[in-house]
């Protein structure tokens, strides 16, 4: 294992400490328990947005704390949900009297810990709503599993719901737009290589030199099938097909196309994939109205990508275009 | 002979030792069908519990230890295991609240309540390839032993053996809950790490009981 770390047990603490120093204009970091909070929180009358989950997906979630997006992020250990305590502390820190929305990726641990924290917050008189994201179409039999996972669509939910909260929407309205975005988003990913969790020290799974794993999640867990390596265009088709089968589009409908890197794939390859995806969508008469290309929700150093398609409406476009100022997404101000 | 505070503290210390000893095994099991953090998280949790045992107030009873384990695991373990084990210990504590000495029936009630807590939180059923597959046979074996008049140590021994068999029996199962469920058929052929850690904890309870009763 070759990594730029000091001590596997201090990876999250030291990384978050660096993040705090680098982005002191945007966030403050409280430790014990650890949470990253927007510098000007709580904002009176604004719905607070809290997300979190295991670390190792950077820039998600701390990279999205700031104006127009999250009010707080709660980083757990690598690939491990945070415990209820820091989620509760973050919830209290961002409550401006208008309630708090938890944005939770659908993984058993995240859901259980956020639920427990929400119960504790409610006991302290804070109104909490939760939106559980589950955009991953790789999970086929959601009746017989823990359900579809929350993956890259989560970034889009956080941006759009964050903009709704920033313009002054109520908790009910912010939760509703977050639900709407989640329901309109579909994602699927693949990996060329596994990743190495620092404290485990070994790859999360093994792949032959010419093998790829289709349908991965974001925690280094294996996916739904293994195939031989193919050209980029064919890989893109493999991801897009199940996405479009799951949520069909009528000609003329608008979409946000998000090509996400898993951490170890360079931008140059992501744009090759974007080119093909845009081509396929155009052929089907789908209007790619907005785009996002880059590594925004990662799996440590995993090489791979995911594609997310979000069916857009006028309000989503307006909220997507609204100003945002975070470490990882910044436009309009 | 009933089991008292000495047993509860010893169980907890043995749990911490045993989890630490099997940390890598649990990580390996979890890497095969999950995300490879179970051993690390459980070790962190029980290390934190051990550090707090000396602070127990004089006159504490077993349910105080169980409550301490519950709150500490909830706030230190994370993942799914934190809330699930936390709820199990919390419900187990409620089942024997305030009792200074636990007989076979009380132990069976404690384990049954723990199992019910896990089912309530995690919504898994027997056969889903989760820790329920260790806890359900353990609770059932404990109840049967207690009804047959076994003492506390024998009840725990029956529970631990049933949990070990239950953990082993998860190997051919296809996971339907938790992280492993995403693997579908590929989850077969691996032991569930949560069932394995459950079996380890129950064996530690039985060993502590044997030491306490000199059996």
Sheet holding A185-191, edge to edge: A225-228, A211-214, A185-191, A304-311, A254-261, A287-294
With an 8 Å Cβ cutoff, the interface of chain B facing chain A consists of 27, 31, 34-37, 40-41, 44, 74-84, 121-122, 175-179, 181-184, 186
DSSP 8-state class, residue A40: T
The count of domains in chain B is: 1
| Chain B: residue whose CA lies nearest to A218 | B35
Omega of the bond prior to A232 within 30 degrees of 0, cis? no
Nearest CB among B78, B84, B181 relative to A76 is that of B78
pLDDT tens-digit readout, B135-191: 999 999 999 999 999 999 999 999 999 999 999 999 999 999 888 887 888 889 999
Percent of chain A at pLDDT > 90 equals: 84
A230-256 b/e (C-beta count within 10 Å ≥ 16 → b):
eeeeebbebbbebbbeebebeeebbbb
Enclosing domain of residue B69:
5-213
Does the distance separating the beta carbons of B178 and A78 come in below 8 Å? no
Give the 3-state secondary structure of residue A15: helix
What contacts B52, CB < 8 A, 6 or more positions away? B68, B72
Nearest CB among A77, A115, A140 relative to B37 is that of A77
Residues facing residue A214 across a β-bridge: A190, A225
**ipTM of this complex prediction, to 2 decimal places:** 0.70
pLDDT tens-digit readout, A41-61: 999 999 999 999 999 999 999
Nearest CB among B36, B121, B184 relative to A112 is that of B121
Q: Write out chain B's pLDDT in tens, 215 residues.
A: 799 999 999 999 999 999 999 999 999 999 888 878 899 999 999 999 999 999 999 999 999 999 999 999 999 998 889 999 999 999 999 999 999 999 999 999 999 999 999 998 898 999 999 999 999 999 999 999 999 999 999 999 999 999 999 999 999 999 998 888 878 888 899 999 999 999 999 999 999 999 998 86
Which is catalytic among the residues A23, A57, A61, A102? A57
Greatest pairwise CA separation for chain A in angstroms:
55
Give the 3-state secondary structure of residue A52: strand
Does the distance separating the beta carbons of A80 and B79 come in below 8 Å? yes
Residues of chain B contacting A85 with CB distance shorter than 8 Å: 75
Omega of the bond prior to A61 within 30 degrees of 0, cis? yes
* pLDDT at residue number B179: 80
Strands A304-311 and A254-261, sheet pairing: antiparallel
pTM of the model: 0.85
Low-confidence ranges of chain A (pLDDT < 70): 141-144, 220-222
* pLDDT at residue number A13: 95
CATH code for position B68: 1.25.40.340
């Amino acid at each position: 294992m070759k990594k730029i770390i000091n001590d596997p047990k201090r990876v999250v603490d030291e990384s978050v400490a660096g993040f705090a120093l680098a982005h002191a204009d945007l966030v403050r970091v409280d430790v014990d328990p650890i949470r990253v909070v927007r510098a000007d929180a709580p904002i009176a009358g604004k719905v607070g947005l809290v997300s979190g989950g295991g670390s190792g997906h950077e820039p998600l979630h701390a990279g999205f704390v700031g104006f127009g997006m999250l009010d707080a992020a709660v980083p757990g250990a690598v690939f491990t949900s945070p415990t209820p305590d820091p989620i509760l502390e973050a919830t209290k820190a961002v409550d401006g009297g208008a309630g708090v929305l938890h944005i939770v990726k659908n993984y058993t641990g995240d859901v259980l810990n956020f639920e427990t924290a929400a119960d504790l917050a409610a006991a302290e008189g804070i109104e909490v709503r939760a939106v559980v994201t589950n955009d991953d179409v790789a999970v086929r039999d959601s009746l017989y599993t823990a359900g579809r996972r929350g993956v890259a669509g989560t970034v889009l939910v956080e941006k759009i719901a964050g903009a709704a909260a920033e313009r002054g929407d109520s908790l009910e309205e912010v939760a509703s737009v977050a639900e709407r975005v989640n329901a309109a988003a579909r994602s699927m990913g693949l990996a060329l290589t596994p990743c190495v969790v620092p404290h485990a020290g070994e790859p999360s799974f093994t792949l032959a030199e010419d093998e790829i794993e289709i349908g991965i999640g974001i925690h280094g867990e294996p996916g739904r099938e293994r195939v031989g390596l193919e050209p980029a265009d064919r890989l893109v088709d493999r991801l897009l097909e199940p996405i479009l089968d799951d949520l069909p589009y009528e000609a003329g409908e608008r979409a946000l196309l998000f090509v996400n890197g898993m951490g170890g794939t360079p931008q140059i390859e992501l744009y090759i994939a974007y080119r093909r995806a845009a081509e396929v969508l155009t052929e089907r008469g789908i209007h790619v109205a907005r785009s996002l290309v880059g590594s925004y929700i990662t799996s440590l150093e995993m090489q791979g990508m995911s594609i997310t398609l979000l069916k857009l409406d006028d309000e989503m476009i307006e909220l997507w275009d609204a100003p945002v100022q975070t470490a990882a997404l910044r436009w309009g101000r | 002979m009933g089991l008292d505070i000495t047993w509860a503290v010893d169980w907890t210390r043995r749990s911490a030792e045993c989890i630490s000893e099997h940390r890598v095994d649990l990580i390996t099991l979890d890497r095969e069908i999950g995300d490879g953090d179970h051993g690390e998280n459980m070790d962190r949790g029980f290390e934190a519990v051990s550090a707090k045992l000396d602070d127990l107030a004089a006159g504490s009873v077993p349910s105080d230890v169980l409550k301490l384990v519950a709150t500490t695991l909830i706030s230190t373990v994370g993942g799914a295991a934190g809330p699930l084990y936390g709820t199990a210990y919390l419900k187990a504590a409620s089942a024997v609240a305030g009792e200074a000495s636990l007989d076979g029936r009380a132990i069976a009630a404690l384990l049954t309540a723990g199992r019910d807590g896990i089912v309530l939180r995690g919504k898994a059923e027997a056969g889903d390839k989760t820790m329920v597959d260790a806890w359900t046979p353990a609770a059932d074996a404990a109840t049967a032993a207690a009804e047959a008049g076994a003492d506390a140590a024998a009840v725990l021994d029956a529970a631990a053996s049933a949990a070990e068999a239950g953990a082993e029996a998860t190997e051919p199962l296809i996971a339907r809950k938790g992280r492993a469920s995403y693997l579908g058929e590929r989850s077969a052929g691996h032991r569930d790490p949560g069932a394995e850690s459950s079996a380890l904890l129950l064996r530690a309870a039985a060993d502590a009981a044997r030491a306490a009763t000199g059996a």
